[in-house]
């Protein structure tokens, strides 16, 4: 890549991947950023691992060259960085710290984020609001009634009833615990 | 075949909400022990240690008392295929059984796969569309297991998994959906593109890669890091509502199409009269039959029954069926022709009463 190319799909990010397809016997090349390439149908039938390794192989040669010289291994499981690069499988939980830059790079590309926000081993009390589920069901119930699909409506109504009973049950049992 | 394995098919019989479109919903967490090599890289003694530790923790789960413990290596190939066709284990577990196990709760709603890609794959499985419930079930089980087992976690990356595609929450929510109308009307491409824009994926469920028989798809979230469990499930539910809505709209449009009526009845004719039928052909015809149920052609056939048949005609289920027919207890190979005959017979038995 001599000149800097802009992604032909989103027209924003720097293009790092060339997707080559055969369209009506003609080779067609599309330059894309990694995120757009991930979303393309070309990759759709591949597993996420295969997609990422394909992307990594195609992405800027520079990064690849840097890593070739890197003989680093995970001190716990002995996995070479090179092997992670090839397969995108880590060897153990300590590999995350051992190969931090590489992992951060790939996580950002795949998930669009590198900061976990969700359950932790400490806040194990986190539960799903059944109320949210009820809200969804009620919306479906309205649609079902409008369509005069009464069989579905009856089932949705039963489901809502069951969830409401469940909420009451958990509330009364937690009230008992507090006493 | 293993008696307990055979009985696992009852989980699908329960039926569930939106079963005309959604066959089942699953939520799973990927979890690992800290500083112990992940299964792909682990030594035999590590894998055995993982199995023992998880089995001991399962002993303390009341829901698992009276459940099943399947050590993959001690099951036959047929047993494993049967479990995979019931969506209870992954193809990976089926192919490489060594040091791998599946623990199931007594009601078959919760399970733990051990030494698959990660040390633990903790899951909840519900018939029909019950995403919040599946998530709650799997959270309960994971919470309870986490009191006894240390799970690898980092404040920045969340739960640490073997592949970076699961890092973070380790949560994958998926639904097996049947979309015959969208498939027939060539609207799947459009749907798949929309799904991708939402951070979700669709994969053909039966058949390899792009080839898909009968319009069954697996829908799941892609991103597991940077979104919490609630955001993931909300996205999932919203997307599933939209999928159901699109499929139902397409079904209504098709219902008034006279060509479709003819195709449905032809499918019914073949399914109730054929003497030999392959899995693929049967799956295609079941898709048309589903549309016939929507159009009220078959007053005594239910969506739940079609969901059940889609599993019952799969290869290992047909082999199990043949064995009961022959009153064989020893496993044996049957010729493809013999299986195609048995499949046709099973379909005739079930569908005779459809009118
Ligand atoms: Zn782009
Ligand atoms: Zn390691």
Q: Could you tell me if A135 and A82 lie in one domain?
A: yes
Mean pLDDT on B238-267: 93
- Ligand closest to the CA atom of residue A5: 1
Nearest CB to B228 within list A44, A117, A155: A117
pLDDT at position B60 over 50: yes
pLDDT at position B83 over 80: yes
- pLDDT attached to residue A142: 76
Which single residue is written with the structure tokens 């716990």?
A76
Q: What is the CATH number of domain B3-252?
A: 3.30.590.10
Contact, B109 vs B122, CB < 8 A? no
Mean pLDDT on B194-210: 77
pLDDT bracket for residue B353 (50, 70, 90): confident
Contact, B292 vs B354, CB < 8 A? no
E strand or H helix at A158: helix A150-178
Q: Could you tell me if A36 and A51 lie in one domain?
A: no
Q: Could you tell me if A81 and A139 lie in one domain?
A: yes
pLDDT at position B205 over 80: no
Contact, A112 vs A39, CB < 8 A? no
pLDDT at position B293 over 70: yes
Tell me whether residues B38 and A129 touch, CB distance under 8 A: no
Q: At which of A10, A25, A45 does a domain end?
A: A45
- pLDDT attached to residue A87: 85
- pLDDT attached to residue B112: 98
Nearest chain A residue (CA) to B43: A77
- pLDDT attached to residue A42: 43
- pLDDT attached to residue A1: 36
List, in sequence order, the alpha helices (H) in B25-184: 44-59, 77-85, 91-95, 131-146, 180-184
> How much is the ipTM here?
0.88
Q: Could you tell me if A41 and A56 lie in one domain?
A: no
Which residues have C-beta under 5 Å from ligand 1, the single-atom ion?
Answer: A 7, 9-10, 13, 33, 36
Q: Could you tell me if A12 and A100 lie in one domain?
A: no
Q: List the structure tokens of A130.
A: 């059944």
Exposed (0-12), middle (13-18) or buried (19+): which is A133, by Cβ within 10 Å?
buried
Mean pLDDT on A26-48: 60
Contacts of B295 (CB under 8 A, 6+ apart): B255, B260, B261, B264
Domain-wise residue ranges, chain B: 3-252, 258-351
Mean pLDDT on B155-179: 95
Tell me whether residues B35 and A94 touch, CB distance under 8 A: yes
| Closest C-alpha to A123, from B146, B28, B54 | B146
Entry pTM: 0.78
Contact, A134 vs A161, CB < 8 A? no
Question: What is the whole-number distance in angstroms between the Cα of residue A120 and the centre of ligand 1?
Answer: 33
Question: What is the whole-number distance in angstroms between the Cα of residue A28 and the centre of ligand 1?
Answer: 17
Strands (DSSP E) found in chain B: 22-31, 68-71, 101-104, 110-114, 120-127, 153-154, 158-159, 171-178, 200-204, 216-221
Nearest CB to A140 within list B37, B155, B241: B241
- pLDDT attached to residue A65: 47
Q: Could you tell me if A169 and A98 lie in one domain?
A: yes
- pLDDT attached to residue B81: 93
- pLDDT attached to residue B274: 97
Q: Could you tell me if A104 and A167 lie in one domain?
A: yes
- pLDDT attached to residue A123: 62
Tell me whether residues A89 and B143 touch, CB distance under 8 A: no
Question: What is the whole-number distance in angstroms between the Cα of residue B122 and the centre of ligand 2?
Answer: 22
pLDDT bracket for residue A49 (50, 70, 90): low
The secondary structure of residue A94, as a DSSP letter, is T
Q: Could you tell me if A52 and A26 lie in one domain?
A: no
How large a percentage of chain A has pLDDT more than 90?
Answer: 19
Mean pLDDT on B311-333: 83
Q: Could you tell me if A97 and A40 lie in one domain?
A: no
Q: Could you tell me if A106 and A164 lie in one domain?
A: yes
Mean pLDDT on B129-141: 92
Mean pLDDT on A62-85: 78
**C-alpha distances in Å from residue B102, one per residue of B57, B90, B237:** 13, 10, 28
How large a percentage of chain B has pLDDT more than 90?
Answer: 77
Taking the Cβ of residue A96 and every Cβ of chain B, the question of whether any pair is shorter than 8 Å is answered with: yes
What crossing angle do the helices spanning B131-146 and A130-146 adopt, rounded to 10°? 170
Q: List the structure tokens of B344.
A: 């046709």
pLDDT tens sequence across B61-71: 999 999 999 99
For residue A22, what are the domain limits? Answer: 1-45
Nearest chain A residue (CA) to B203: A45
The secondary structure of residue A41, as a DSSP letter, is G
Nearest chain B residue (CA) to A88: B163
Q: Could you tell me if A93 and A160 lie in one domain?
A: yes
Q: List the structure tokens of B108.
A: 């078959």
- For B323-345, the three-class secondary structure string (H helix, E strand, C coil) is HHHCCCCCCCCCCHHHHHHHHHH
pLDDT bracket for residue A18 (50, 70, 90): low
Residue A39: list chain B partners with CB under 8 A.
Answer: 196-197
The domain that holds A36 is classified in CATH as: 3.30.60
pLDDT bracket for residue B89 (50, 70, 90): very high
CA distance B247 to B216: 12
Taking the Cβ of residue B95 and every Cβ of chain A, the question of whether any pair is shorter than 8 Å is answered with: no
Taking the Cβ of residue B226 and every Cβ of chain A, the question of whether any pair is shorter than 8 Å is answered with: yes
Taking the Cβ of residue B148 and every Cβ of chain A, the question of whether any pair is shorter than 8 Å is answered with: no
pLDDT bracket for residue A127 (50, 70, 90): very low
> How many domains does chain A contain in total?
2
Q: What is the mean pLDDT of chain B?
A: 91
Q: Could you tell me if A85 and A141 lie in one domain?
A: yes
Taking only residues 28 to 67 of chain A, the set having a beta carbon closer than 8 angstroms to any beta carbon of chain B reads 39, 41, 44-45, 48-49, 52
Mean pLDDT on B223-231: 93
pLDDT bracket for residue B346 (50, 70, 90): very high
Q: Is the torsion defined by CA of A31, A33, A34, A38 positive or negative? A: negative
Mean pLDDT on A9-38: 66
Mean pLDDT on B232-259: 92
- Ligand closest to the CA atom of residue A16: 1
Taking only residues 26 to 45 of chain B, the set having a beta carbon closer than 8 angstroms to any beta carbon of chain A reads 32-38, 40-41
Mean pLDDT on B309-318: 92
Nearest chain A residue (CA) to B230: A128
């Amino acid at each position: 890549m001599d000149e800097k190319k802009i992604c032909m799909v989103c027209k924003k990010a720097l293009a790092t991947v060339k997707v080559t397809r055969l369209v009506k016997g003609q080779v067609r090349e599309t330059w894309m950023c990694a995120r757009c390439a991930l979303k393309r149908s070309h990759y759709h039938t591949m597993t996420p691992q295969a997609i990422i390794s394909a992307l990594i192989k195609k992405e800027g040669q520079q990064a690849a060259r840097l890593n070739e010289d890197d003989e680093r291994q995970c001190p716990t499981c002995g996995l070479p960085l090179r092997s992670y690069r090839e397969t995108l499988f880590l060897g153990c939980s300590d590999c995350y710290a051992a190969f931090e830059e590489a992992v951060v790079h790939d996580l950002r590309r795949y998930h669009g984020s590198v900061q976990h926000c969700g359950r932790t081993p400490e806040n194990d009390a986190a539960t799903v609001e059944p109320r949210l589920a009820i809200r969804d069901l009620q919306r479906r119930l309205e649609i079902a009634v409008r369509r005069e699909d009464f069989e579905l409506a009856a089932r949705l109504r039963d489901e809502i009833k069951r969830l409401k009973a469940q909420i009451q049950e958990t509330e009364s049992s937690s009230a008992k615990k507090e006493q | 075949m293993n008696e307990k394995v055979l009985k696992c098919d009852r989980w699908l019989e329960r039926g569930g909400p939106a079963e005309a479109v959604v066959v089942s919903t699953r939520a799973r967490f990927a979890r690992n022990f800290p500083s112990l090599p992940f299964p792909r890289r682990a030594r035999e003694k590590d894998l055995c240690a993982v199995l023992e530790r998880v089995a001991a923790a399962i002993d303390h789960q009341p829901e698992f008392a009276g459940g099943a413990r399947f050590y993959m290596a001690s099951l036959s190939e047929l047993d494993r295929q049967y479990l995979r066709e019931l969506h209870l284990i992954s193809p990976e577990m089926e192919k490489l059984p060594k040091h791998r196990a599946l623990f199931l709760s007594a009601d078959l709603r919760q399970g733990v796969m051990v030494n698959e890609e990660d040390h633990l794959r903790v899951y909840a499985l519900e018939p029909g569309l019950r995403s919040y419930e599946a998530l709650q079930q799997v959270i309960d089980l994971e919470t309870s297991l986490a009191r006894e087992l240390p799970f690898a976690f980092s404040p920045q990356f969340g739960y640490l998994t073997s592949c970076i595609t699961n890092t973070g929450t380790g949560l994958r929510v998926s639904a097996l959906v049947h979309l015959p109308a969208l498939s027939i009307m060539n609207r799947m491409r459009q749907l798949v593109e929309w799904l991708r824009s939402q951070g979700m994926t669709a994969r053909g469920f039966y058949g390899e890669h792009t080839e898909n028989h009968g319009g069954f798809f697996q829908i799941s979230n892609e991103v597991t890091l940077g979104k919490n469990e609630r955001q993931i499930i909300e996205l999932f539910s919203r997307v599933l509502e939209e999928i159901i809505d699109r499929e139902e709209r397409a079904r209504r449009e098709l219902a008034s199409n006279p060509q479709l009526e003819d195709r449905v009845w032809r499918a019914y004719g073949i399914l109730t009269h054929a003497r030999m039928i392959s899995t693929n052909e049967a799956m295609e015809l079941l898709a048309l039959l589903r549309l016939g149920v929507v159009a009220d052609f078959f007053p005594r056939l239910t969506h739940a029954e079609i969901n059940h048949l889609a599993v019952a005609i799969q290869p290992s289920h047909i082999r199990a069926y043949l064995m009961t027919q022959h009153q064989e207890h020893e496993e044996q190979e049957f010729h493809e022709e013999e299986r195609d005959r048995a499949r046709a017979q099973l379909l005739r038995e079930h569908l005779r009463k459809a009118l």
